[in-house]
Amino acid sequence: MLASPQQPPIMPHSTQHNLMSIHQNGASPNGLGVVDQHKHIWIITGPAGCGKSTVAQHLAQTLALPYIEGDEFHPPANIDKMAAGVPLTDADRWDWLILLRQEALARFSGCDTANGPPGVVLTCSALKKKYRDVIRVAAYHDSLVCVHFVYLRATEEVLMQRVKARQGHYMKDSMVKSQFASLEEPTRDEGDCLIVDVAGTMPEVQDLALTSVKEALKTHVAAENDR
Ligand SMILES: Nc1ncnc2c1ncn2[C@@H]1O[C@H](COP(=O)(O)OP(=O)(O)OP(=O)(O)O)[C@@H](O)[C@H]1O
Ligand SMILES: O=C(O)[C@H](O)[C@@H](O)[C@H](O)[C@H](O)CO
């Protein structure tokens, strides 16, 4: 069993780096009309059924960024456990979280933003603050990496309905309660989390998430310009 990783708190990266330029003509690799030298990891988080995959695919497609489906990186033992209706423990999740962090960084390795993607979109439930801290370590060794969480907020009742209606998925609605029991919603103190209400229709939620990400990037750019 792995010990719980101890990490010091991390400050939001948006105030830490120098912006290179803003495109004058609006054309940019990330589709936002903004170019900077940073590599942004957008982690779409929340309990089972909150819409992580749906939102992440939309963001990745619209912004032309690589997309990593975090659930594909669970070891078979974790999937078997969840399919059997047994909630994962912290110990079940540490290696998976580290793997996701490595996978996101791998998309940037060996490339600067002129050659590689300016960001990556990753789905990960990241239910607890200490799980988010594991992902935040991505920024420790590369000052150009910025980590942002997009938390999809919903009530337990809404997610019960959505998971119940979903066909052919190992995660059944009986697991939603335990997901909420583990959930530590991001607080303002964490500084790098966007919160998106997912009560609306799918297109509404996708638009909200996209707008939030664009706003966060603009804020990042403005903060860099002020430095
Ligand atoms: N805003 C929405 N309104 C109605 N249904 C939605 C909405 N967003 C997603 N759904 C549906 O809810 C279900 C869960 O969505 P999705 O698979 O994207 O969630 P998820 O967070 O990735 O789930 P999991 O973590 O369990 O894989 C899907 O059937 C999806 O079509
Ligand atoms: O941390 C967890 O408990 C897991 O990541 C779950 O959230 C599932 O992977 C996901 O919800 C699939 O339905």
Report CA(48)–ligand 1 centroid distance (Å).
8
Distance CA 73, CA 183 (A): 20
Angle between helices 76-83 and 90-106 (to 10 degrees): 130
Most ligand 1 atoms within 8 A of CB, residue of 45, 53, 201, 206 to mutate: 53
Nearest ligand 2 atom to alpha carbon 88: 3
% of the chain residues with pLDDT over 70? 82
Instruction: Characterise 40 by phi-psi region: left (phi > 0), alpha (psi -120 to 50), beta (else).
Output: beta
Report CA(71)–ligand 2 centroid distance (Å).
7
Distance CA 6, CA 23 (A): 40
* Residue of higher predicted confidence among 136 and 4: 136
ipTM metric: 0.96
Nearest CA to ligand 1 atom 14: 49
Q: pLDDT per residue over 121-169, tens digit each? A: 999 999 999 999 999 999 998 889 999 999 999 999 999 999 999 988 9
Report CA(125)–ligand 2 centroid distance (Å).
6
Distance CA 201, CA 195 (A): 16
Nearest CA to ligand 2 atom 1: 125
Domain boundaries of the chain, sorted by first residue: 39-226
Nearest ligand 1 atom to alpha carbon 200: 1
Architecture field, domain 39-226: 3-Layer(aba) Sandwich (3.40)
Q: 201 CB less than 6 Å from ligand 1?
A: yes
Report CA(43)–ligand 2 centroid distance (Å).
14
